[in-house]
Homo-oligomer: A and B are copies of this chain.
Amino acid sequence: MKIKYELVKKDKNTKARYGILYTNHGSYETPIFMPVGTQATVKTLSPEELKEVGSAVVLANTYHLWLRPGEDLVEKAGGLHQFMNYDGPILTDSGGFQVFSLAKNKKKDIVEEGVHFKSHLDGKKLFLTPELSIQIQNKLDSDIAMSFDECPPASADYAYLKNSVERTLRWAKRGLAVHKNENQSLFGIVQGGAYADLRKFSATETVKMHFDGYSVGGVANDGESKEDMYAAVDYSIPYLPEDKPRYLMGIGEPEDLLEGVERGIDMFDCVLPTRLARHANAFTRKGKINIRNAKYKEDFTPIEDTCYCYACKHYTKAYIRHLMVAEETFGSRLLSIHNIRFLIKMMEEIRLAIQKDTFSTYKHEFLEKYKGVKND
């Protein structure tokens, strides 16, 4: 079965929307935040811990799994769900973003057929095409697959982007043509930088291909400004159908989740909560804190009094700080649990606010308190 999106309620004051995503692995309310399990594991966490924090869909990276352990092995294992022991929905990206961000020395050669580049692991020459990306994802057997797109750099000019958008459309069509997995949905990706006409063109043409959902891409690049990101969403959303889910790729800062939801986005993913954890950072309602800070040395209170995650229920800042200073991985694990729970809880509150038509107030009040302070 393909996924189905049900739009339940629109916010009265913004474009925010509350809906339900029906999948082969359960039904989930949207807007939703999806943690990332790059290599078929959300770093440091078990599937049970993901469920305990209220996590539903997880993302896995096609590029990484293509290189290791290989899609054929995952297929032999019975697909990603069985391989990684996760019975919730799994979304795989196309590999496109990694090719453009991780390729060795950042060098790649984009041709009509696909992209030539070298492995970030061993420098081996690789060639990824729209067809191959879909074929890999078919074998991985994720619930949702993504079309292979070009992710142009933030510095790309209009002429470059115009060409790129057209190629991405041709690639989307080619991917669609080889997509064979009946139980896997396929999303199209809208590109076009921060140009209104390119986004409109990309969205309109992509929608004509009747994908199961649509993503706003090209917004998580290095050097991309927040204004350009919000513009990209604003310029894309009006041309996307209301009865399909909309996914903003690679975005996880709390302020960006709020901006995305306000503009009509239903799905988000980001490595941020787990990456922050490994760098000893924790989300709090007052902004990010760095638990290694000396002021937490004798702080025998939880990361947040108002959080009921496993880390906050049982452990103090002083203990987690000790673990991080002593380089014990249980520390990153506790911080990962807390950080993912923080974003999931935020989305729970956002969904409630949309249902009560109080999203704007919620956003305002959240941002009032949340300073986004790094390394306090």
Instruction: Name which residue of chain B comes closest to A327, CB basis.
Output: B39
CA separation between A316 and B76, bound complex, in Å? 12
A315 at the interface (CB under 8 A from B): yes
The answer to whether A329 touches B43 (Cβ under 8 A) is: yes
Known: A39-B328, A69-B297, A297-B69. A319 touches B77 (CB 8 A): yes
Closest chain B CB from A72 CB (angstroms): 9
The answer to whether A41 touches B323 (Cβ under 8 A) is: yes
The answer to whether A329 touches B329 (Cβ under 8 A) is: yes
A13 at the interface (CB under 8 A from B): no
Residues of chain A in range 295-331 having any CB-CB distance to chain B below 8 Å: 297-298, 300, 314-316, 318-319, 321-323, 325-326, 328-330
The answer to whether B85 touches A315 (Cβ under 8 A) is: yes
Main SS at interface, chain A: loop
A102 at the interface (CB under 8 A from B): no
- Residues of chain B contacted by A329 (CB below 8 angstroms): 43-44, 329, 332-333
A265 at the interface (CB under 8 A from B): no
Contact pick for A76, options B84, B300, B328, CB 8 Å: B300
Instruction: Name which residue of chain B comes closest to A326, CB basis.
Output: B39
Number of copies: 2
A198 at the interface (CB under 8 A from B): no
The answer to whether B318 touches A69 (Cβ under 8 A) is: yes
Against B, the Cβ 8 Å flags (1 = close, 0 = not) of A69-83 are: 100010011100001
Residues of chain A in range 162-200 having any CB-CB distance to chain B below 8 Å: none
A68 at the interface (CB under 8 A from B): yes
The answer to whether A326 touches B43 (Cβ under 8 A) is: no
Residues of chain A in range 68-122 having any CB-CB distance to chain B below 8 Å: 68-69, 73, 76-78, 83-85
Contact pick for A322, options B68, B314, B333, CB 8 Å: B68
Closest chain B CB from A82 CB (angstroms): 9
The answer to whether A46 touches B83 (Cβ under 8 A) is: no
Known: A41-B330, A315-B85, A318-B77. A325 touches B69 (CB 8 A): yes
CA separation between A278 and B101, bound complex, in Å? 30
- Residues of chain B contacted by A64 (CB below 8 angstroms): 326
The answer to whether A68 touches B319 (Cβ under 8 A) is: no
The answer to whether B319 touches A84 (Cβ under 8 A) is: yes
Instruction: Name which residue of chain B comes closest to A337, CB basis.
Output: B46
A40 at the interface (CB under 8 A from B): yes
Residue among A64, A68, A84 with most chain B CB within 10 A: A84
Known: A73-B298, A77-B300, A300-B77. A322 touches B40 (CB 8 A): yes
Instruction: Name which residue of chain B comes closest to A319, CB basis.
Output: B83
A45 at the interface (CB under 8 A from B): yes
The answer to whether A43 touches B328 (Cβ under 8 A) is: yes
Closest chain B CB from A160 CB (angstroms): 34
**Which A residues lie at the B interface, using CB under 8 A?**
39-41, 43-46, 64, 68-69, 73, 76-78, 83-85, 297-298, 300, 314-316, 318-319, 321-323, 325-326, 328-330, 332-333
Q: List 21 A-B contacts (CB under 8 A).
A: A39-B322, A39-B326, A40-B322, A41-B330, A43-B329, A43-B330, A44-B333, A45-B330, A46-B333, A64-B326, A68-B322, A68-B326, A69-B321, A73-B297, A73-B318, A76-B298, A77-B319, A78-B300, A83-B319, A84-B319, A85-B315
Query: Which 5 A-B residue pairings sit nearest by Cβ, starting from the closest?
Result: A69-B322, A39-B326, A85-B314, A41-B330, A329-B329
